[in-house]
């Protein structure tokens, strides 16, 4: 089944953060993504707007912007491929890593990468770290570049970062830590030496913050405990490919979705309880079997479809886990956006394809979208997500 959304709007970005100001009023913040004809992810400004979701269609306010290129000191600042914006819950700041474009790559591939903090009210931009590559080399001396991934999240005066670190063509697993006064890099390769891609904050059942889980390439998930900042390898059992953690703030669960197979392997959905010692516990396999059909008559195998870029989305009535699907019956190089009722992951009848208001379902979920209550310092379901047409 294909579910048609009722509303859409155009934003040139890759992911965004939505801040809940009241029951139906949100502030959206995004990095305006530009192209220079080669690179697709040049960013010079962050933008924000308030959106009132109590009316239909939602009422958008005036857009404001802030220059991040000038404070960065970079000539052609370029952002990561997937996960662009992070957030520091303690300082109410947007975290964004910018690299200097290397002159040929379509995406971030650089030895000059800086971490910036932008006040959510757009009053100030600070360079938090001006040489992440040199920091990386303290943990991986043979590193030659940072590529594709650079994502940071902060809480309680601490910051954790995930980077795509390479030594020529070989991957290096490095996690960045800030303890409130000192920056450090950790070679997180106890399980595998595969790159780190994303950081996901998690809370316990009483909404106490307990740490961060990473999306590590090739099941190389790490748990960074709060406040100690100890780094522990935690590959989800039974998975073979990259497993992405998503925090379910409504049920206080950690959801893992898996992507990476090109040959029809099972791509799992797993659910666990948050655990303050190990990050998660009681991991349960809830991978669905069965098929759903898109508007192009493709039969999508829910067991083998790659599952990535997940978020908890709510339209005010329904709450879904939303993710991008590739392969598994979807033609190569094409994608679809899939959704499932929250908590019903093993039931194929609860899965659908999402289409835009014109009933076009040829889209890719684009990057990380998270919604935040800045007052309670908690994740909340997102009222919006970003997609890219995939003809």
Nearest to 246 by CA among 237, 236, 232: 236
Segment 164-188 mean pLDDT? 98
- Within 13 Å, how many C-alpha atoms sit on residue 25's CB side? 4
Q: Which residues are bridge partners to 388 per DSSP?
A: 364
Question: What is the four-CA torsion angle of 193, 244, 285, 355, rounded to 10 degrees?
Answer: -150
Q: What is the pLDDT of residue 390?
A: 87
DSSP structural state of residue 181: S
Nearest to 311 by CA among 349, 282, 339, 331: 339
CA distance 390 to 388: 6
CA distance 10 to 386: 9
CA distance 54 to 333: 37
Q: What is the pLDDT of residue 217?
A: 98
CA distance 89 to 86: 10
Segment 170-176 mean pLDDT? 98
The predicted-structure confidence for 354-380, as pLDDT tens digits, reads as follows 999 999 999 999 999 999 999 999 999
Domain 2-389 sits in CATH at: 2.130.10
Length of the chain: 391
Q: What is the pLDDT of residue 134?
A: 98
**Bridging pattern class, strands 351-355 and 2-4:** parallel
Q: Backbone phi, then psi, for 94, in 5-degree steps? A: -80, 130
Neighbouring CB atoms inside 10 A of 293's CB total 13
* Helix or strand holding residue 346 (H, E): none
Give the CA angle between residues 198, 199, 204 to the nearest 5°: 145
Segment 305-333 mean pLDDT? 96
Segment 176-183 mean pLDDT? 98
Segment 249-272 mean pLDDT? 98
Tokens of 301: 């195998």
Q: Is 217 exposed, middle or buried (0-12, 13-18, 19+ CB in 10 A)?
A: buried
Neighbouring CB atoms inside 10 A of 203's CB total 20
Percent of the chain with pLDDT over 90: 96
Query: Residues near 351 by Cβ (< 8 Å), separated by ≥ 6?
Result: 288, 290, 292, 302, 338, 339, 340
pLDDT of 391 over the 90 cut: no
Query: Residues near 292 by Cβ (< 8 Å), separated by ≥ 6?
Result: 1, 299, 300, 302, 338, 348, 351, 352, 353
Q: Backbone phi, then psi, for 148, in 5-degree steps? A: 75, -40
Per-residue confidence at 96, pLDDT binned at 50, 70, 90?
very high
CA distance 299 to 330: 7
pLDDT of 211 over the 90 cut: yes
Per-residue confidence at 329, pLDDT binned at 50, 70, 90?
very high
**Domain spans of the chain?**
2-389
248 within 8 A of 313, measured Cβ to Cβ: no
Q: Whole-model pTM?
A: 0.97
């Amino acid at each position: 089944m294909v579910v048609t959304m009722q509303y859409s709007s155009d934003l040139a970005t890759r992911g965004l953060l939505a801040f809940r100001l009241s029951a139906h009023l949100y502030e959206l913040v995004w990095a305006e993504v530009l192209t220079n004809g080669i690179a697709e992810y040049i960013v010079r400004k962050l933008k924000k707007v308030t959106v009132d979701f109590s009316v239909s269609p939602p009422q958008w306010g005036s857009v404001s912007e802030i220059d991040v290129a000038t404070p960065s000191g970079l000539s052609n600042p370029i952002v990561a491929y997937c996960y662009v914006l992070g957030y520091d819950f303690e300082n109410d700041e947007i975290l964004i890593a910018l690299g200097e474009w290397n002159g040929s790559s379509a995406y971030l591939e650089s030895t000059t990468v800086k971490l910036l903090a932008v006040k959510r009210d757009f009053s100030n931009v600070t360079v938090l770290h001006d040489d992440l590559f040199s920091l990386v080399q303290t943990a991986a001396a043979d590193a030659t570049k940072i590529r594709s991934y650079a994502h940071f999240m902060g809480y309680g005066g601490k910051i954790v970062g995930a980077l795509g670190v390479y030594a020529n063509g070989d991957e290096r697993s490095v996690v960045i830590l800030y303890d409130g006064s000192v920056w450090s890099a950790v070679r997180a390769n106890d399980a595998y030496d595969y790159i780190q891609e994303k950081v996901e904050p998690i809370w316990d059942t009483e909404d106490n913050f307990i740490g961060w889980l990473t999306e590590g390439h090739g099941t190389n998930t790490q748990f960074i405990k709060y406040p100690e900042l100890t780094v522990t390898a935690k590959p989800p059992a039974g998975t073979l490919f990259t497993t992405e953690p998503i925090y379910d703030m409504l049920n206080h669960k950690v959801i893992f979705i898996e992507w990476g197979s090109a040959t029809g392997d099972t791509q799992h959905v797993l659910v666990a309880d948050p655990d303050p010692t190990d990050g998660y516990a009681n991991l349960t396999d809830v991978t669905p079997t069965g098929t759903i059909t898109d508007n192009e008559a493709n039969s999508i195998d829910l067991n083998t479809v790659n599952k990535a870029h997940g978020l908890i989305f709510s339209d005010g009535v329904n709450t879904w886990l939303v993710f991008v699907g590739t392969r598994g019956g979807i033609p190569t190089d094409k994608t679809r956006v899939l959704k499932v009722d929250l908590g019903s992951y093993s039931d194929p009848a609860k899965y659908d394809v999402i289409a835009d208001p014109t009933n076009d379902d040829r889209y890719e979920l684009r990057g990380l979208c998270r919604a935040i209550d800045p007052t309670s310092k908690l994740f909340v379901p997102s009222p919006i997500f970003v997609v890219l047409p995939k003809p």
